[in-house]
Amino acid sequence: MTDTNLRTPLYGWHARHGARFVPFGGWEMPVQYTGILDEHRATRTAAGLFDVSHMGEATVSGAQAALFLDYVATNRVGDLAVGRARYTLLCAPGGGVVDDIIVYRTGPQSFLLCLNAGNTPGDIAWLSEQAKSFDCIFRNASADYAQLALQGPQAVEIAARVAPPAVHLADVPRFSFVEILLSGAPVLASRTGYTGEDGFEFYLRPDQAEPFADALLKVGADLGLKPCGLGARDSLRLEAGLPLYGHEISREISPLQAGLGWAVKLDKPGGFIGRDALAAEALAGPARRVVFFILDDRRVARADMVVSAGGKPAGKVLSGTVSPMINLPIGSALVERAALDSGAALTVNIRGSEVPLRLAKPPLHKSAK
């Protein structure tokens, strides 16, 4: 652990709750408290509380804020209603992914962006530069926010316990958000998440993060709420089939290869950065695809292991772990489309053995055998 890694406002809180720390994206973050398997299962059966304050935030405001965002984003932004959020990619001219983000429309001419932690400095620099051509103000707002995610079947019930009686958090639709007082603190509560479960992501002032986390743990204790670290965050999102930047999407893996074409609106008026390259790729069909899989084995597939089709190398594993719900290894892989189309049996090389790979549709813990 180096001193140069940043710490979130909850660092001391994590330590007091028995966290083990790892460096991640320039931050010293809790990887686990009671254990990844335990925390993952708690989130799927009750609820988990995650510190995601390492994520970056930015604000865009002004007459051309929507126009600017529609230019840099693959998805539609301009038609977002106030109080609504949307997932989108930011692409480079060649179609590679710069980052995947969530955009929140906080007002007629104002937006909040949530950026991946490791990409934040690059995103800020790149977006600032692009924003200069538009009548808008782009601001790095990361220092203004702590962020907590509350996810699981009991998450909404737990959140409701810290909400004022007049606010019905259960009525907030998925991908909508409200700005209210929770446990006495002004919070932007969005019905979004990165686990495949119901729940909220909370944006709040850094100095209010600890009391808020304490309040949630207290009211959620009898419902089984547990603090969860980045280890469980990763196994949950992989099991749910959600991409992680640097794995399923990157400068080398386009949204179309990653199966995220639904977030790419090629016919957006005015186009967007990367549009022409992606349109050409859509026409030809992506040459390789991200797929998700389950192994009927005990050995775990790990990133960079070679995937073969009919015994011939055809791709590689992108992410791999064990599903704590079905107790089988799961993962994602990048495979040549020709190999997928051929129907040849897929295998992954684990320490010299070719282990059969069963393609599956996420959520992987609910995928039929």
Nearest approach in angstroms of CB 160 to other proteins is 32
Task: State which residue, 37 or 46, has the beta carbon closest to other proteins.
Answer: 37
- Kindly give, in sequence order, each residue whose CB lies less than 8 Å from that of residue 28, ignoring residues fewer than 6 positions away: 1, 5, 6, 7, 11, 21, 22
Nearest approach in angstroms of CB 168 to other proteins is 37
Task: State which residue, 128 or 327, has the beta carbon closest to other proteins.
Answer: 327
Nearest approach in angstroms of CB 37 to other proteins is 5
Task: State which residue, 131 or 230, has the beta carbon closest to other proteins.
Answer: 230
Per CB under 8 A, the segment of 110-118, 180-188, 263-271, 292-300 that binds other proteins is 292-300
The one among 6, 26, 37, 279 contacting other proteins by CB under 8 A: 37
Contact 97, 121 (CB under 8 A): no
Contact 327, 204 (CB under 8 A): no
Nearest approach in angstroms of CB 324 to other proteins is 8
The one among 19, 36, 156, 339 contacting other proteins by CB under 8 A: 36
Per CB under 8 A, the segment of 29-37, 42-50, 52-60, 89-97 that binds other proteins is 29-37
Nearest approach in angstroms of CB 198 to other proteins is 24
Q: What share of the chain is helix, strand, coil (3-state, %, to 5)?
A: 25, 35, 40
Radius of gyration of the chain (CA): 21
Pairing assessment for the beta strands 225-228 and 288-295 based on DSSP bridges: unpaired
Is there binding between residue 231 and other proteins (CB under 8 A)?
Answer: yes
Nearest approach in angstroms of CB 303 to other proteins is 10
CA distance linking residue 95 with residue 332, whole number of Å: 21
Per CB under 8 A, the segment of 8-16, 105-113, 152-160, 295-303 that binds other proteins is 295-303
Near other proteins in 325-354, by CB under 8 A: 327, 351
Nearest approach in angstroms of CB 327 to other proteins is 8
The one among 59, 75, 208, 235 contacting other proteins by CB under 8 A: 235
CA distance linking residue 40 with residue 369, whole number of Å: 22
Task: State which residue, 9 or 324, has the beta carbon closest to other proteins.
Answer: 324
Task: State which residue, 133 or 327, has the beta carbon closest to other proteins.
Answer: 327
CA distance linking residue 299 with residue 321, whole number of Å: 10
Is there binding between residue 35 and other proteins (CB under 8 A)?
Answer: yes
What separation in angstroms does the CA of 2 have from each of 21, 22, 207, 348?
11, 10, 24, 36
What separation in angstroms does the CA of 314 have from each of 259, 290, 296, 356, 361?
18, 12, 20, 14, 20
Per CB under 8 A, the segment of 31-39, 83-91, 119-127, 336-344 that binds other proteins is 31-39
| Phi, psi (rounded to 5 degrees) for 274 | 100, -5
What separation in angstroms does the CA of 69 have from each of 61, 79, 137, 196?
10, 11, 12, 26
Count residues contacting other proteins (CB under 8 A)? 17
Task: State which residue, 152 or 329, has the beta carbon closest to other proteins.
Answer: 329
Near other proteins in 296-325, by CB under 8 A: 298-300, 302, 321-322, 324
Nearest approach in angstroms of CB 50 to other proteins is 16
What separation in angstroms does the CA of 337 have from each of 48, 257, 284, 286, 309?
37, 9, 12, 7, 11
By CB under 8 A, name the binding residues for other proteins.
31-32, 35-38, 231, 235, 298-300, 302, 321-322, 324, 327, 351
